[in-house]
Amino acid sequence: MSKFLFTDNDWTFARIDAVTEAIAAIAEKELQLDTYPNQLEVISAEQMLDAYASIGLPVYYAHWSFGKQRAIESGQYRRGEMGLAYELVINSDPCISYLMEENTMTMQTLVIAHAAYGHNAFFKNNVFFRQWTDAEGILDYLAFAQRYIAQCEERFGMDAVTDVLDAAHAISRNGVDRARRPRQLSAREEEQRREERERYLEQQLSEIWRTLPPTPTSAGEKTTNFPPDPQENLLYFIEKNAPHLEGWKREILRIVRKIAQYLYPQGQTKIMNEGFACFVHYHIMHSLHRTGQITDGTMMEFYASHTAVVMQPDFDDRRYSGINPYALGFAMFQDIKRICVNPTEEDRRWFSFAGDPDWRKQVHFAMREFRDESFVLQYLSPKVMRDLHLFALRNDRDETTYRVSAIHDDGGYQHLREALALQIAEGNRPPDIQVVSVDRWGDRHLRLQQMDEQPLDQDEAQKTLGFVHSLWGYDVHLDMNDLSLREPLVSEVV
């Protein structure tokens, strides 16, 4: 008598049900995962392309850029240049995972283990997701956003709404609070708030534009700076302080900002999130196989796609396009387990937890408390660096050659770790551009300043500044390291 969950490769709803149950048991007993309830949705390839176009969100407002994204991707898909992901998963409560109908039963099993348990547990437990996102309210909020923007299109015309969205999208990466946590609101409160805000704004002028001095001694106030401290969240600043922006436009900025904020942790934890999900599916698939619930054939198919996913091409390989977050993350999580279960002398020197009998606790701790940058800084082990043959390359703009600054040897491990962490941090961060002042008593120009060192693409910056100008309504300046741009005028060298 066979205990196999399935022996041929066609999926059925009954099989998915049985497999989910088996996986849930392993996730709970062997991995002690804490997850949101799961909602598995079977979709077609076309629907998967839709989901791609809207950053994987199930409900989204309409904008041409999503149409463009879809045109690009469906073109690549039709030409066979791109395979579709087998799954997509939404950080929501319940956690929604998409299963493609083209998947084989093996793939569905893998996807359920990977997304519905791996990613799901990550969403629920990782500190950045818990701090920055509201899994319970997101679907309601997205529906509200879609409805509101559709209403605006009806009331104010599609072109006017598109203009605001274009501008908001341009600075959406600079519309995220990195330092403090935004308040969470349910969709209904949100709607109520919006109406209140609209009423208020109609009655009231913004405080900073008060031209009647409150006291006769206001002469000193002219010299005080506004804002008192530089503001990193451009979208928020404009939403609150732009002199003449209509209420509905402010609301649209708010929607774009809220969604950017919701997506922010995903960009910060790509390596960890994928690494952890791979770690979970790897464990679960092996466990299913060991307990005789899946066949050897299923296991072979699993290995084929698993190795393809966690493959890291070498830097000189034609397929190389940066460090594969799946490969690095998976290797690191596997290594944490190895360091606990089977530590070497080297591991004991590097990691205080080496040899801890409870590897689950260590894996969970790593999954919960870090983001990519700090995760690499904390856990990238010499063994993983050796396995991946990592090396660091330095480029000085004045030299004619690149220089190898570290390789995977005793002298280089620490340097590699730090260099990679820095590289990840920079890749995850948009250029640091902050609002430094508003000329409240003069021509109301807005002054932005770049706070970090790396040069900006000037052409892009000028165009983006144009969008900022369209929202702000008055002149906008951007001071960069050695250059100053302004809108609506052309750039001038300082």
Q: Write the DSSP symbol of residue 171.
A: T
Least separation in angstroms between residue 328's CB and another protein is 9
87-to-111, 266, 353 alpha-carbon distances in Å: 6, 16, 34
Query: Quick one: tokens of 258?
Result: 């809220």
Cis peptide before 216 (omega within 30 of 0): no
Least separation in angstroms between residue 104's CB and another protein is 16
Least separation in angstroms between residue 68's CB and another protein is 5
Q: Which is nearer to another protein, 196 or 317 (CB)?
A: 317
> What is d(CA 477, CA 98) in angstroms, rounded to the nearest whole number?
45
> What is d(CA 2, CA 292) in angstroms, rounded to the nearest whole number?
9
Q: Which is nearer to another protein, 42 or 201 (CB)?
A: 42
Q: Which is nearer to another protein, 43 or 187 (CB)?
A: 43
Spatial CA neighbour of 167 closest among 467, 472, 446: 467
Q: Which is nearer to another protein, 199 or 394 (CB)?
A: 394
> Which residue shows structure tokens 């309504």?
473
Least separation in angstroms between residue 471's CB and another protein is 14
Least separation in angstroms between residue 50's CB and another protein is 5
Q: Which is nearer to another protein, 162 or 491 (CB)?
A: 162
> What is d(CA 415, CA 347) in angstroms, rounded to the nearest whole number?
17
Q: Which is nearer to another protein, 140 or 353 (CB)?
A: 140
Q: Which is nearer to another protein, 292 or 322 (CB)?
A: 322
Q: Which is nearer to another protein, 100 or 366 (CB)?
A: 100
What is the Cβ-side half-sphere exposure of residue 16, based on CA atoms within 13 angstroms? 21
> What is d(CA 276, CA 78) in angstroms, rounded to the nearest whole number?
31
Least separation in angstroms between residue 423's CB and another protein is 6
> What is d(CA 7, CA 105) in angstroms, rounded to the nearest whole number?
9
Complete DSSP assignment for 141-197: HHHHHHHHHHHHHHHH-HHHHHHHHHHHHHTGGG---SSSPPPP--HHHHHHHHHHH
Least separation in angstroms between residue 206's CB and another protein is 25
Complete DSSP assignment for 72-118: HHHHHHHTTS-PPPSEEEE-SSSEEEEEETTS-HHHHHHHIIIIIII
Least separation in angstroms between residue 226's CB and another protein is 22
Least separation in angstroms between residue 460's CB and another protein is 5
484: β partners: 479, 492
Q: Which is nearer to another protein, 299 or 483 (CB)?
A: 483
Spatial CA neighbour of 446 closest among 426, 428, 467: 467
Phi, psi angles (nearest 5°) of residue 208: -70, -15
Phi, psi angles (nearest 5°) of residue 251: -65, -40
Q: Which is nearer to another protein, 344 or 423 (CB)?
A: 423
129 and 92 Cβ atoms separated by less than 8 Å: no
> What is d(CA 238, CA 388) in angstroms, rounded to the nearest whole number?
45
Residue 433: its H or E element? strand 433-438
Least separation in angstroms between residue 373's CB and another protein is 13
